Structure 1
Amino acid sequence: MSDFNTLELLTDPRGFATLWLSREEKNNAFNAEMIRELILALDQVASDASLRFLILRGRGKHFSAGADLAWMQQSAELDYATNLDDARELAELMYNLAKLKVPTLAVVQGAAFGGALGLISCCDMAIGADDAQFCLSEVRIGLAPAVISPFVVQAIGERATRRYALTAERFGGQRAQALGLLSESYPLAELEQKLDQWIDNLLLNSPAAMRASKDLLREVGDGSLNPALRRYTENAIARIRVSPEGQEGLRAFLQKRPPSWQAETVKEPR
């Protein structure tokens, strides 16, 4: 994996990667360099067929405090065209994370402000600490959560997004779970142990089937029925049944043995 200045991309021998936001002295706030490096890191993850899933985390006390103030000050001095280029970079990051083929799990502690909610919303799943603090803070400084808004709406719904985007209220982990932004919220002291349980559970699953399920659910969308979707789902189950992992999974189930992807591997620090 390539070296980064603002990130760490670590692979576990069991077959997953952890992408760490690593500007701890800046509370993992975004700047142009971090956005560009996140895009490059996701490209590396997407090109590695051995990876089963990706975990997104932040080093230190906070997941991410949002945009870096020095970077925002520079942006305020730039013209419209240059700001548009910056916005396109951020949009590329969010869209690439949302469409990543492998499952994604965000792990949130401390602050998750502004664009950090976009990263969390782009992930398939998220867990966090009860005392984490979430905020769509843009209106407090005269801005709008523009690029991240489609992903936040998908995560928590239109009505809740209107409230928190317009009020810039802070809310905690349990409220984030109630809204659907977090899958589960835990006491901070239990977060690492709970993450290990999530990892162990994901490692039970067929890597190819998880990728296929992400493709399937992207096509299904909100579940609106139509003839084209019916044909897609019929073809999807037929393809996965005759695939190598589909065949192995069915044989293992009938033979009452673990499938090949559940082979034991050495557990190492993430």
Structure 2
Amino acid sequence: MTELVRTARERGITTLTLDAPARRNALSAALADALAEALARCGGDRGTRAVVLTHAGNTFCAGADLRDPPRPEALVELMRGIVELPVPVVARVDGHVRAGGLGLLGACDIAVASTAATFAFTEVRIGLAPAVISLPLLPRADPRALARHCLTGERLDAAEAVRAGLLTAAGADVDEVLAPVLDGLRRASPQGLAETKRLLTATVLQTFDRDADALTALSARLFASPQAREGATAFLERRDPTWVV
């Protein structure tokens, strides 16, 4: 069976690569579980100074796998696991990000991308809402930008994603953008990183504590709704859903 998340280590940096490119790294139940397990191993590894989360293929993550989505609770646990990991997590994006993939970006401490990357909150177009993924995003992203992009489902480029607070930085070569970040993390003390991350994520974790149960219930209700079934069917059949006017 193909490994869904590949692990590599170099000079204190553990790289986790989402490796389901045929499915555009969509978050199936199996992929979400594999990523959660890999992150947990990183958290217990004293040799890991930071984690880089990246991808195989031209898509970082296409959101939930509509054929086999993870439970909303599992997605909440996955994102919270990134936020609570005692080492920084850096997203390296050299492709496209949609829907639930933006929740992974929001959970990461730093997110860098190539200027070829594109982003979109597509939930509204298939009868859903960015419910659980809003947990890490609302405390970190620009409210006006989120309103526009979550309500319209428009595609945005890397420069707009930086302005909106979805990305930290972007450039023509993502690895050139990433290099000084990793150099800085390697020069930082493990204690300094852990305690600084704790300070920076406190508000995000308060949002999880306050809203996770309600948003999990909302996500489950929407996924089971007639409009979501029509939206998913239309997406898989590559047609407009019936509500398009």
Could you say whether these structures have the same fold, taking a TM-score greater than 0.5 normalized by the shorter chain as the test? yes
- Distance in 1 of aligned mates of 2:185 and 2:107: 18
Counterpart residue number, 1:27: 24
**Match of residue 16 from structure 1:** 13
Structure of greater relative contact order (alpha carbons < 8 Å, 6+ residues apart)? 2
| 1:64 maps to amino acid | C
TM-score normalized by structure 2?
0.78
1:40 and 1:29 map into 2 onto residues whose CA distance is 17
1:216 counterpart (175, 199, 216): 199
Structure 1 counterpart SS, 2:177: helix
- SS of the residue corresponding to residue 118 of structure 1 reads helix
- From 25, 43, 57, the counterpart of 2:40: 43
Matching residue's letter, 2:176: Q
Distance (whole Å) between structure 2 residues aligned to residue 86 and residue 64 of structure 1: 17
2:190 to 207, 227, 234: 207
Q: Report what 1:54 is aligned to.
A: 51
AA matched with 1:216:
L
The alpha-carbon deviation at position 56 of structure 1 amounts to 0.5
Q: CA deviation at 1:4?
A: 7.0
Q: Contact between 1:4 and 1:37, CA under 8 Å: does it hold in 2?
A: no
1:65-95 per-residue CA deviation (whole Å, 9 max, x = no partner) reads 22223225xxxxxxxxxxxx81111111011
> Tell me, which stretches of 5 or more residues in structure 2 are unaligned?
205-245
SS at match of 2:156: strand
Contact 2:99–2:121 (CA under 8 A) maintained in structure 1: yes
Runs of 4+ aligned residues of structure 1 deviating over 4 Å after TM superposition are none
- Whether 1:154 and 2:152 are equivalent positions in the alignment is no
**Structure-1 separation of matches of 2:130 and 2:174:** 28
Could you list the per-position Cα deviations for residues 36-73 of structure 1 after superposition, in whole angstroms to 9, with x for gaps in the alignment? 1111111111111221111010112121122223225x
Q: For residues 98 and 208 of structure 1, what CA distance do their matches in structure 2 show?
A: 17
Report % sequence identity: 35
Q: Distance in 2 between matches of 1:159 and 1:71?
A: 32
Q: Is the 8 Å Cα contact of residues 52 and 89 (structure 2) preserved in structure 1?
A: yes
Alpha carbons of structure 1 residues 17 and 4: separation in structure 2 relative to 1, 3 Å: farther
Aligned to 2:5: 7
Aligned to 2:215: none
For 1:117, the aligned partner's letter is L
Q: Which residue of 2 aligns with 1:251?
A: none
Deviations 1:22-42 (A, max 9, x none): 001111111010011111111
Indicate the residue corresponding to 1:106 in structure 2. Answer: 91
Task: Give the CA deviation at 1:9.
Answer: 1.7
Residue 150 of structure 1: SS of its match in structure 2?
helix
Question: Which of the two has higher C-alpha Rg?
Answer: 1
Counterpart selection for 1:119 from 104, 118, 124: 104
Alignment partner of 1:63: what SS? strand
